[in-house]
C-alpha cells in the first residue's frame, strides 16, 4: 500500500512538469509538418524519380568545381538550413551538419553541439558533449575551431574525431588526415598529425569514477593524465576502474548522508572554497537531501560568493529561497526568489520563482505584492503550476 501512496505523491509532484503552451504548439506544428512532408504512397508513385533526380543533382553539385569554391556562407542540419547558435542534439540517430564549402561534421548519437560563428574562412563550433566526426575541406587560410569545455581544437583542413566528456572534463581527439592543434585546459598546445590521438583532462582535475559504471577510464593523478596515444587506444573499450567512493557518485546513488560525510572528511569548508560551481550546486542539493540545511546553505552561499553573475549563482539564489521556504522563513525566501528573478529574469526557474513569491507574499499578508505578481504570472504562464493560486489571489477582494 505504501507504493500506492508514493505513486499518488509522485503524480501530484509530476503534475507541475506540464508542457508549456508554446512547447506543445511547437510539437504539434512539427508533427503536422512531418506528416505533410511524408506522403508514403505518393513518394513511391511519384517521388522516387524526383528523389533520383535530386541525388544526381546533389552529386553534380559536389563534383562541380565551382560548388566547392562557393566558400562558407551557410550550413544545413540534415536537410534543413541551420541557424547560428541553434542547439543540435543527436538523440538516437547521428545528425550531420553540412557546410556550404563542402565541410561536414557528424554528431554521434547522444551528442550536443552548435555552430557559434560562420565566417568566410571557417566556422566556430561548440561541442557541449559527445562526439563529432569532422571532415574540414582544406582551403588556403581556412580557420575552423571546435571548442569543448576549456579546450579548443584548431583546424585548417583535415579529418578528425573529437569527444568531450564534461562530467570527467575529458577531451579525446584523433586525427586521420591533416593536422590539428589542441589548446586550453591549462595545458600547452599540442599539434597532432594524421594517425595520432590525444587524451587530455583539465589540469588539476581529479579522476571521477562512478562505482556503478563498469566502463570508465582508470583513475589518473592530476596533471599526469596527459598522454599522446595511438588512435586505436582511444576507441578501445576502457578497463573497469576500482570502485571510487567519490561523494558525487554517492549522491547520485541517493546516499546523501554518506556523500556528505565524505565531503566532511575532505574538509567541508575547504571543499566549498575549491569545488567548481556545478559541484557546489550538487553539494548543496546533497546536503539538503541529507537533512543538513545549514551545510546546503553554506554550499550555495559559496557558489554565489565565488562565482558571482554565473548561472550557478542564480540557481543558488533560488535554492537558498527554497531552503528558507522549507524552514518557514517566508521573508528570507521572498528575498532570495526576488534575487533570482533580478539575476535571471528569463531563466528557466523564473516561473517557479514567481509562483513561490505569490505563495510567500500571501503567507506574509502582503496582498498588494501577491496580486501584482499573480497578474504578471498569469500573463506569462496561464497554465503554470501556480496559475490556480494566482487566480485565487486575484479573486479575493
Partner 1 sequence: MQRMAPRPASLTHDGRPSEGSRSVTFLGDDVALIAGVRARSEVAMAALYDRYVGDVRRILLHTLGPRLDLPDLIQDVFVNVLGSVHKLREPAALRGWLFQVTVRTARKHLRSSSRRWWLKLWPNGDELELTPASMLEEQASDAVTATFQILDGMPPEERMVFSLRYVAGLDLAELAEACEMSLSTCKRRLGSAETRFQAAAREHDVLRDWVEGGAP
Among 244, 289, 332, 394, binds partner 1 (CB under 8 A): 289
Tell me which residue has cell 543527436. 90
For position 391 contacting partner 1 by CB under 8 A, the verdict is no
For position 34 contacting partner 1 by CB under 8 A, the verdict is yes
Q: How far apart are CA 77 and CA 113, in angstroms?
A: 11
**How many other CB atoms are found less than 10 A from the CB of residue 208?**
21
- Site residues for partner 1, 79-138, by CB under 8 A, read 87, 89, 91-92, 109-110, 112, 128-129
Site size with partner 1, rule: CB under 8 A: 78
Which residue lies nearer to partner 1 by CB, 110 or 243?
110
Q: How far is the CB of 166 from partner 1 (least distance, A)?
A: 6
- Site residues for partner 1, 250-269, by CB under 8 A, read 252-257
- The H or E element spanning position 66 is helix 65-68
For position 311 contacting partner 1 by CB under 8 A, the verdict is yes
Site map for partner 1, 192-211, x if CB under 8 A? ------------------x-
- Site residues for partner 1, 46-85, by CB under 8 A, read none
The three cell numbers locating residue 186: 591549462
Q: Which stretch binds partner 1 (CB under 8 A): 3-11, 97-105, 199-207, 219-227?
A: 3-11
Among 213, 220, 264, 335, binds partner 1 (CB under 8 A): 213
- Site residues for partner 1, 347-366, by CB under 8 A, read 347-349, 352
What 8-state DSSP symbol labels residue 244? B
Site map for partner 1, 214-253, x if CB under 8 A? xxx-----------------------------------xx
CB-based contacts of 156: which residues, under 8 Å, 6+ apart?
136, 138, 142, 143, 144, 178, 179
Amino acid at each position: 500500500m505504501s507504493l500506492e501512496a508514493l505513486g499518488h505523491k509522485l503524480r501530484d509532484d509530476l503534475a507541475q512538469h506540464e508542457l508549456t503552451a508554446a512547447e506543445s504548439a511547437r510539437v504539434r506544428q512539427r508533427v503536422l509538418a512531418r506528416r505533410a512532408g511524408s506522403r508514403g504512397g505518393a513518394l513511391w508513385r511519384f517521388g522516387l524519380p524526383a528523389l533520383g533526380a535530386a541525388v544526381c543533382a546533389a552529386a553534380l553539385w559536389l563534383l562541380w568545381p565551382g560548388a566547392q569554391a562557393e566558400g562558407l556562407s551557410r550550413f544545413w542540419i540534415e536537410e534543413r538550413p541551420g541557424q547560428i547558435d541553434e542547439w543540435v542534439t543527436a538523440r538516437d540517430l547521428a545528425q550531420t551538419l553540412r557546410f556550404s564549402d563542402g565541410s561536414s561534421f557528424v554528431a554521434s548519437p547522444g551528442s550536443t553541439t552548435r555552430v557559434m560563428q560562420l565566417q568566410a574562412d571557417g566556422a566556430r563550433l561548440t561541442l557541449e558533449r559527445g562526439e563529432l566526426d569532422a571532415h574540414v575541406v582544406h582551403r588556403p587560410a581556412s580557420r575552423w575551431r571546435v571548442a569543448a569545455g576549456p579546450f579548443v581544437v584548431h583546424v585548417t583542413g583535415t579529418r578528425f574525431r573529437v569527444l568531450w566528456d564534461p562530467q570527467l572534463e575529458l577531451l579525446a581527439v584523433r586525427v586521420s588526415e591533416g593536422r590539428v592543434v589542441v589548446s586550453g585546459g591549462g595545458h600547452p598546445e599540442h599539434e597532432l598529425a594524421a594517425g595520432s590521438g590525444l587524451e587530455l583532462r583539465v589540469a588539476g582535475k581529479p579522476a571521477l569514477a562512478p562505482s556503478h559504471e563498469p566502463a570508465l577510464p582508470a583513475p589518473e593523478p592530476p596533471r599526469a593524465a596527459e598522454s599522446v596515444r595511438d588512435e586505436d587506444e582511444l576507441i578501445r573499450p576502457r578497463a573497469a576502474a576500482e570502485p571510487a567512493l567519490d561523494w558525487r557518485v554517492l549522491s547520485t546513488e541517493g546516499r546523501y548522508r554518506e556523500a556528505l560525510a565524505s565531503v566532511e572528511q575532505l574538509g567541508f569548508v575547504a571543499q566549498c572554497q575549491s569545488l567548481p560551481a556545478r559541484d557546489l550546486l550538487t553539494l548543496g542539493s546533497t546536503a539538503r537531501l541529507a537533512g543538513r540545511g545549514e551545510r546546503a546553505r553554506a554550499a550555495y552561499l559559496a557558489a554565489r560568493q565565488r562565482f558571482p553573475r554565473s548561472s550557478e549563482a542564480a540557481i543558488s539564489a533560488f535554492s537558498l529561497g527554497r531552503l528558507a521556504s522549507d524552514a518557514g522563513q517566508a521573508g528570507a525566501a521572498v528575498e532570495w526568489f526576488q534575487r533570482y528573478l533580478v539575476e535571471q529574469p528569463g531563466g528557466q526557474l523564473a516561473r517557479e520563482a514567481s509562483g513561490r513569491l505569490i505563495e510567500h507574499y500571501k503567507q506574509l499578508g502582503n496582498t498588494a505584492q501577491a496580486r501584482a505578481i499573480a497578474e504578471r504570472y498569469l500573463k506569462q504562464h496561464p497554465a503554470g503550476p501556480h496559475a490556480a493560486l494566482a487566480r485565487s489571489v486575484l479573486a479575493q477582494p
